[in-house]
Amino acid sequence: MLSLGVNIDHIATLRQARYAASPEAYNVEPDLLAAAAASERAGASGITIHLRADRRHIQDRDVFRLRESITTKLNLEMGNTAEILDIALRVRPEEVCLVPENRAEITTEGGLDAAGQMRALAPTVERLHAVGIRVSLFIEPDARQIEAARQLGVAMVELHTGAFANATGAAQTDELRRLHHAAEHAHRFGLQVNAGHGINYTNIRKIRTLPHLAELNIGHSIIARALAVGLESAVAEMLAGMKGDA
C-alpha cells in the first residue's frame, strides 16, 4: 500500500517569519509538534523534514524534539555535510534522504548527482548504515543515477518528480514515461521506490500509476491546502487521492 510522508518544513517557514529571533518563546506558533501529530492522526506514515545548512526553516532543536514526539517515523532530508551528518548520527532518524542543496534556491531543485559524487557520498552512507539508519537518495529518474544508488548500497531512491510536475501535455506524458522506466529499473535492483517534489491534488492521479511505488513525500501542496481545510483534512484528502478515492 502506498504510504505518505508529510513534509512539514513550511510550517517552520511560517514560524521563522515571525519568531526566528526567539524560537523558544512560550507563544511561538505554529507548533511543529502539533503539525506532526495532526499529520499522523490523519494517516501519514511518517514525518519528513529538511535540516538545511542555512537553517531557513527547520532548526536543530526541531529535529531532536520531533524525534522524541512522533509516533510513526522520522525521515530527515540533508545535504552531504559533516555538520548535518553529525546531527543525524546523534538523532538517529529511521531514515535519511540525501539531497542536493543550493543556498540560492527556494526549495530543493533537481536531483542529487549520485553518479558524479560517489566518492564523497560513500563514507556518509557507510556511517549512517553503521548506526542502523536506512538511506535514500533523492535523484533524477535516470538509469545512471539509479546504478550509482545500487553501487552505494542504499535501500531506497526517491525519484524527483519536479520535471513532471512542471510539464504539461505531451511533455508531461514523456516525463511520466521516464519516471515509469526509472521505477522499473530501481525495482530490478531491489531498491525501494519513493517519489516526491511538486506532487499535488491533481497530478497525484498520474503519479499513483507509477509501478512499485512505496512512498510519496509531499509538503507544499498539503500545507497550502491546510490553510483552507485544516492539516488533518488536507492530509486525509491527499491519502484519498493516492488511493484513487478522490
Q: Identify whether 95 is a catalytic site residue.
A: no
Q: Tell me how far CA of residue 222 lies from CA of 179, 193, 206, 214, 231, in angstroms.
A: 22, 21, 17, 19, 7
Is residue 77 part of the annotated active site? The answer reads yes
**φ/ψ of residue 165, rounded to 5:** -65, -30
* From 10, 160, 197, 237, active-site residue: 197
Query: Of 98, 78, 93, 89, which is closest to residue 9 (Cα–Cα)?
Result: 78
Pick the catalytic residue: 50, 57, 160, 185? 50
Q: Exactly one of 10, 40, 57, 77 is catalytic; which is it? A: 77
Is-catalytic flag, 50? yes
Cβ atoms of residues 167 and 204 within 8 Å: no
- The amino acid sitting at 65 is R
Active site residues: 50, 77, 197
